[in-house]
């Protein structure tokens, strides 16, 4: 049986490394798979099994977080999607629903804690 995965996507490699480290400390039983390129992430989501959640940045070149979420929902309609952004006022409830995004959290330490809590709740629901 393969290890369950959390896919994280951010076009800033420094932000991605920090988030991967934080998630890795919190979710030791899961593989944290990171992508700088959202198009590569979309391909992986379509092809991979055992994906627990997608955590993505909103503003990225080529494919933004909303578009990535929509692609992910096409191949995995039950996949929880968490959007991290410094622009949360740009996401309406309709945008979230249309993109399959469960939660929007801003990029600061306090909301990273909220993100960990949200992901933990998903983990508990499966137990």
- Assign residue 21 the CATH number of its domain: 3.40.50.2300
Give the pLDDT confidence of 12-50 residue by residue, as tens digits: 999 899 889 888 888 888 899 999 999 999 999 999 889
- pLDDT over 60 (residue 111): no
Report the alpha-carbon distance of residue 33 to residue 91 in Å, rounded.
Answer: 25
pLDDT at 83: 86
Token duo for residue 114: 């909220």
Q: Tally the domains of the chain.
A: 1
CA 31 to chain centre: 13
Q: Can you give the residue range of the structural domain that contains 89?
A: 5-126
- Residue 74: pLDDT band by 50, 70, 90 thresholds? very high
In this prediction the pTM is 0.83
């Amino acid at each position: 049986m393969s290890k369950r995965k959390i896919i994280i996507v951010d076009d800033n490699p420094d932000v991605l490394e920090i988030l991967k480290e934080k998630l890795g400390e919190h979710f030791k039983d899961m593989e944290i798979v990171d992508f700088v390129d959202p198009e590569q992430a979309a391909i992986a989501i379509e092809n991979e099994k055992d994906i627990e959640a997608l955590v993505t940045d909103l503003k990225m070149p080529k494919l933004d977080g909303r578009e990535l979420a929509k692609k992910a929902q096409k191949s995995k309609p039950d996949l929880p999607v968490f959007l991290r952004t410094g622009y949360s006022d740009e996401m309406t409830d309709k945008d979230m629903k249309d993109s399959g995004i469960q939660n929007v959290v801003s990029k600061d330490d306090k909301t990273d804690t909220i993100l960990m809590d949200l992901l933990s709740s998903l983990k508990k629901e499966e137990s």
